[in-house]
Amino acid sequence: MKAEDIKNLKIAIIGAGYGGAAAAKALSLLGADVKVYEQAPQMGEVGAGIGLRPATMARFREWGIFDAVAKVSSPSDYFEILTAAGEPIMKDTWPEFGEEKQTYLIHRGDFIEALLGVLPEGMVQLGHRLETIEDKGGRSVLTFTNGETVEADLVVGADGIKSVVREQLFSDKGPVFSGEHAYRAVISADDAHGLVFDDNLRMYIGKGTKVYLLPLRHRNQMSFDITALNPDGTWAPEVTKEGLLATVDGFDERLVNITRGLDMETVNIRAVYDIDPVDTWHKASVVLMGDAAHSMLHHQGQGANSAIEDAGALADALAQAGSVKEALALFQAIRKPVTDELQRISRQGWSEEEVNDVFPGQKPAAQMPTSQKPTSVTAPAQSKG
């Protein structure tokens, strides 16, 4: 689209998570009139770490915000996968993207703060919970639970896994329970039993449990994440310390000791959900992105990274196409095949045979009762980050 047409474009982004904040940056750099509407009265994130991949960091460089993110993160060269007992299975460098070779490990709270911190004052409107959305062709009408009504030429639905935009305009299918829980905490490196010694991500795997250690050395901390099989699909289930310890039974003693030392008040406990692929992400003046479009299981560490890539691709499409309508179709054509595949891989994991190949002599899946078999084991080349 011509620069002056983009400048006249009034864009409303729903949700100020990673996807919405990144889209606000990318679209305002094109000159569009952008506002972000966020339901929360103030922003916060769960205590956990996340890895920002080389492709994500390349976008940040392009948008001039690389330093703002890099200064609150630690660059990592590789990731490692180990058995429950701590024997190495594989070690690999992160997939490169152009000049970018490292993945930046960051606390989720620092990440959202850095992203929102580069947006101009007033761009994000907190306390705005979207209630209804109506696509009227070239414009859309939004109503919020606080009584406000907004009209926009383009609405970007970045409102996460329980998206109202998706539910009202694209699909009435709700989130799908994976049969797993995620237990996440950020602990002091001093309580990590010697396991914080470099800046690389490690995943210990066995008996249907994955333990992710993501060092945050710039904070003298470590993000400790146990993902374990559990049939309770309650969104925020209650789990005791004993329950947590049972998931790491037989793991490297240091991991058991870290678990034993956790302050349960600080552990974020969540049942793990994703969504089925959504057939179409756009209408005349509305588009979905991030988890709203393609929430995926976290085993590949690609959800937040995909949301950032969506933001970049949406801005590129608007700059390249002749109209909003064409741009939204182009955006979907570029991004949906990629995220469809990530959604599929993150659900599929390895087959039992492949798990057995990876654990020669140990064969955890074959030796376990059916209820304990790993349903979804991270593919090494795409390990969580």
Ligand X SMILES: Cc1cc2nc3c(=O)[nH]c(=O)nc-3n(C[C@H](O)[C@H](O)[C@H](O)COP(=O)(O)OP(=O)(O)OC[C@H]3O[C@@H](n4cnc5c(N)ncnc54)[C@H](O)[C@@H]3O)c2cc1C
Binding site for ligand X (CB under 6 A): 14-20, 37-40, 50-51, 128-130, 158-160, 164, 182, 270, 272, 290-291, 298, 301-305, 307, 384-385
Q: Residue 363 CB, nearest distance to ligand X (Å)?
A: 28
Pairing of strands 103-107, 73-76: antiparallel
In terms of CB distance, is 130 or 187 closer to ligand X?
130
Name 32's Cβ contacts closer than 8 Å, sequence gap at least 6: 6, 7, 9, 10, 11, 318
Degrees, nearest 5: CA angle 246-221-58: 110
How far is it, in rounded angstroms, from Cα 255 to Cα 28? 45
Which spans in 276-368 are helix H?
290-294, 303-320, 324-348, 352-358, 364-367
Which C-beta is closer to ligand X: that of 15 or that of 206? 15
Cβ closer to ligand X: 1 or 211? 211
Q: Please, which residue, 81 or 304, has the CB nearer to ligand X?
A: 304
In angstroms, what is the minimal distance from the CB of 160 to ligand X? 3
CB of 369 to ligand X, least distance (A): 25
CA atoms within 13 A on the CB side of 56: 28
Smallest gap from Cβ 150 to ligand X, in A, equals 12
Q: Report the residue number, 359 or 378, with the smaller CB distance to ligand X.
A: 378
Residue 18 CB, shortest distance to ligand X, in Å, is 4
* HEC sequence for 254-298: HHHHHHHHCCHHHCEEEEEEECCCCCCCECCCEEECHHHHHCCCH
